[in-house]
A and B are shown apart, each in its own frame.
Chain A
């Protein structure tokens, strides 16, 4: 039995980079003061927090005064949405997409039940947002539009610059959940007029429990957490200093590895995808392959079910995830794939592999080998598409 682990679920969470762990350590043991304290013991910590803030700002090409540390991506999303709506109480219409992460989707659903008019913008078969529909829905009653930068399940990137312009034309505020985009593609907030942006530490090799909300200067925002004066009054609560320092280092590393992400990681992803779709009995890629973050692929294996695939992958030491109903804890399969109109026959057998800069060439070879064997094994016991198995066999034995 091999003890090999191949981690291909980096859109769920990532390994904390060793450099990050190392940078955090002193803030548990010696530099544990409270940055708000008057004494030097606490006060000296503040400059490390501010340095981290600058590193985060650099990754986004923003000003450090626009960076607010939060506890996670979900908090950033909640704070952004509620904070803006509280500042614009007279506007009662909000817009999002059908494929958001639950941290946005469910907040909108809640607001819809509490007096807001909610519009959800559709996506097409490739997961691309319908800009015409967005244009139709935007009106002067629109307070806020929240649309993700890149989708967590398919990796599809939305045209954020264009969307931001459209939103501003009706005087509304634009928030984007960039949790899956940050560190994987360049983000330049000097160029792209996003008003608020959410980011999560543990998706880019920082620890869990730290997030960022970017609030552009001049954006009206009512704080969500009320208490002390931390984060310039925009988010109360004693700073999570070790994680903030860790996130600073993680952002610095992300910037350094951005090119590698775009070249080596992308090449690994493309090879994985190409080998699986050409060698499998029936496998197809979900999402717009022209416009994706470089680490993600979402592949549907027809006539087999996602949970079975994941358990067998896991037996081989491979970590991935699926849009199947059985893996979600509910009976509903992925809302993202269903919004794209992917047939049920493919949704239930969808698998997402998400790589990172720690993924190796051998890892890909290992995944391909096991995934193909698993597909064959489950197809052998599936009641559907029996003749396709034989046809594939005949083709490959030529």
Chain B
């Protein structure tokens, strides 16, 4: 990784981190889609960025029916990934300490927790890929979604983002391309300049801080741009609705688009379209385009088809007024410096954009595990 650190973690880290790094353990099965012998791993739960890991419960089934007494609950990450997170947490603490000391303040446990400002830390999950092995974490998934990525200069090039089930490739590509166009429109209006073609295109060789800063600028552009024409939903979730749109105007009407645009003058460095009705419509269209790239789970069309053919979207999406990035830079830098991949930039051009996700790409053989022959032939499923 371009900015992997070789220096040892500080040998005089804050005493409270030693308490945070005391773990509790639980043993869980590794997810698989069919019944048969299972692998089991030991999870380590501890305080990371001020939070303990979210727990999950799964249960054994046979012939589709739940089997009593087979319920398991676990939380945390595997021992190997735990050590990486310990190192990352010390790195992140360094950044926090440097910042507060430059202000003449003293680092503290509560201060560090507040500074990290993380609401949810999710590690092991009973589903496929790295989460199943406890080798991945998601940070505040609600506000750090999987968003489209790619270069605006290369419409035919690979674009990253969430894989939506039941959508043909053309539609998926169109959704991602439309999002990139929205980023560019938002950027131009908010910053008064053209967005760099690679603002949302980064890879494993890139410096974390620089990549983060580029994406953060786009995030803020999206937040401002969307909020000019829409109100922020309460829980960052749009259940198939179009969002809470502002009325166009007039300028004297509190909460209208024209009034908001006027009041937000210092935020808008670009020149809005002379025809403000047209500008208003563009933002509304862009908002709809963008939300389709910021889904919860898997996006489905009620009647499969092209996105521009009046398809009705079944699945809820996130609210573009929230943007897509609330993890602070120092956390992303620290995790990557400790050896993690960041889903935003390390998954490859066709899959980048998973803002919440940090992991280590390990096979189960690289993780301490045990075997469960599963003589009863149970199939474990998430409860």
Say whether A associates with B: no
Residue ranges of B at the interface with A (Cβ–Cβ < 8 Å): none
Residue ranges of A at the interface with B (Cβ–Cβ < 8 Å): none
